[in-house]
Amino acid sequence: MSVPSLPLEGFYSVIPAGGVGSRLWPLSRADAPKFLHDLTGSGQTLLKDTWDRLAPLSGEQRVMVVTGRAHRAAVEAQLPALADENIVLESEPRDSTAAIGLAAAILERREPGVVIGSFAADHVISGDALFRSAVADAVAAARAGYIATIGITPTEPAVGFGYIECGGPIRVPGADRVEAVSNFVEKPDLETAKRYLEGGDHLWNAGMFITRASTLLEELSRTKPELHAGLVELAEAWDDPETRGPAVDRIWPTLEKIAIDYSVAEPAAAAGRLAVIRGHFQWDDVGDFASLAKLNTAGRSGELAILGENARVLADASSGIVVSRAKRVISLIGVHDIVVVDTPDALLVTTSEHAQRVKAVVDALRLGGSSDVL
């Protein structure tokens, strides 16, 4: 493993900080999404953890955050070193292509030829040296003309993640572990996931993309020309305060909602323009309470994870996770793999096995008009 010289020359970090994280309701809400919570007991939010991981790679003045207007104050409070011109505010969520594509268009206009790396604000990563080495190889691949992604080496036959199928190695100057991507695979069933784990040619898709901004925009112009045109027009108006607001109000609501996996990554893979670097660091997208329980009971099989300042929990022969944001005493007796999330206005009780179904509760509450608890 090579140790890169930091910061990486000509590199810009982009942090899309959007999404509510509905599978973590009622902890994660529209006004307090997942990335604004401390979910690992580190003493700081996932967003601040992400900043601390990326700032050494690009330099503090070369980190851009794309987030909702409603979260501006919270983001700026968490990241006091974030440059004013590097906070990009969405008027409403339009999915990852619009968020990352706008960042790419703005940065390419400011600095033609810039290499950008997009990393979610709400993932948990440990093993900084391994992460930095993987990013450095991805930047080398980006400079060679590829759209690069970092795939995570699977540790179990997980069915909650998409997978990246690796092709043969690619020769890239300055990087010795770049591979072609032959296919993106949607979340598989358990038997298929077991085959992927045993075969060694599939990696978890962690949604990390590193590329020249111009390369991403070129791919987007090929696959989604109307979306590309809207983003470029927005970027042209962005750095002038007088033109930015009217342009956002006029253009942003018209942009197609589509994930960057579908608009850029999959077409690039089909065209032989997508490369992958195997990431051997520990990674989790904290997608539900089952994964949150694993993070907080790592190495302590069968125990109960308790999150929440001043949580009052009594447990006897029980395992799982309790997240307490209320003052009441929670007592658990003889229950296993339990999930209890207690907030002042909502209580969730489920099991780790059914943690992915929490999103259905959120959908039902929204349809029922109970937006006050969302």
6 assigned to some structural domain: no
Q: Does 263 share its domain with 299?
A: no
Q: Does 342 share its domain with 201?
A: no
36 assigned to some structural domain: yes
DSSP state of 280: -
Query: 242 by DSSP, 3-state: which?
Result: helix
In this prediction, residue 141 carries a pLDDT of 97
201 assigned to some structural domain: yes
- Closest by CA to 330, choosing from 348, 350, 315, is 315
CATH code of the domain containing 152: 3.90.550.10
> Considering the chain, what percentage of its residues have pLDDT values greater than 90?
79
Q: Which of 284, 314, 344 is the last residue of a domain?
A: 284
19 assigned to some structural domain: yes
> Considering the chain, what percentage of its residues have pLDDT values greater than 70?
98
106 assigned to some structural domain: yes
Band (pLDDT 50/70/90 cuts) for residue 299 is: low
Q: Which of 249, 284, 319 is the last residue of a domain?
A: 284
Q: Does 186 share its domain with 255?
A: yes
Residue 240: pLDDT over 80: yes
Q: Does 241 share its domain with 354?
A: no
235 assigned to some structural domain: yes
- How many CB atoms are closer than 10 A to CB 229? 13
CB 136 within 8 A of CB 2: yes
pLDDT, tens digit (0-9, with 9 covering 90-100), for 10-53? 999 999 998 777 899 999 998 889 999 998 888 899 999 999 99
Q: Is the pTM of this model over 0.85?
A: yes
Residue 15 sits in which domain range? 11-284
Q: Does 278 share its domain with 294?
A: no
- Closest by CA to 267, choosing from 224, 228, 232, is 224
Q: Does 276 share its domain with 159?
A: yes
373 assigned to some structural domain: no
Q: Does 245 share its domain with 278?
A: yes
Q: Which of 224, 256, 284 is the last residue of a domain?
A: 284
Contacts from 288-291 at CB under 8 Å and sequence distance 24+?
288/23, 288/24, 288/160, 288/355, 288/356, 288/358, 289/23, 289/24, 289/321, 289/323, 289/339, 289/341, 289/350, 289/352, 289/355, 289/358, 290/339, 290/352, 290/353, 290/355, 290/356, 291/160, 291/355
pLDDT, tens digit (0-9, with 9 covering 90-100), for 248-286? 999 999 999 999 999 999 999 999 999 999 999 999 999
Q: Does 239 share its domain with 307?
A: no
Q: Does 278 share its domain with 307?
A: no
Q: Does 208 share its domain with 275?
A: yes
Residue 8: pLDDT over 90: yes
Q: What is the mean pLDDT of residues 159-186?
A: 91
pLDDT, tens digit (0-9, with 9 covering 90-100), for 310-336? 889 999 999 999 999 888 999 999 999
Split into its structural domains, the chain has a count of: 2
Q: Does 256 share its domain with 165?
A: yes
3 assigned to some structural domain: no
Residue 110 corresponds to which tokens in the numbers above? Answer: 């400011």
Q: Does 265 share its domain with 357?
A: no
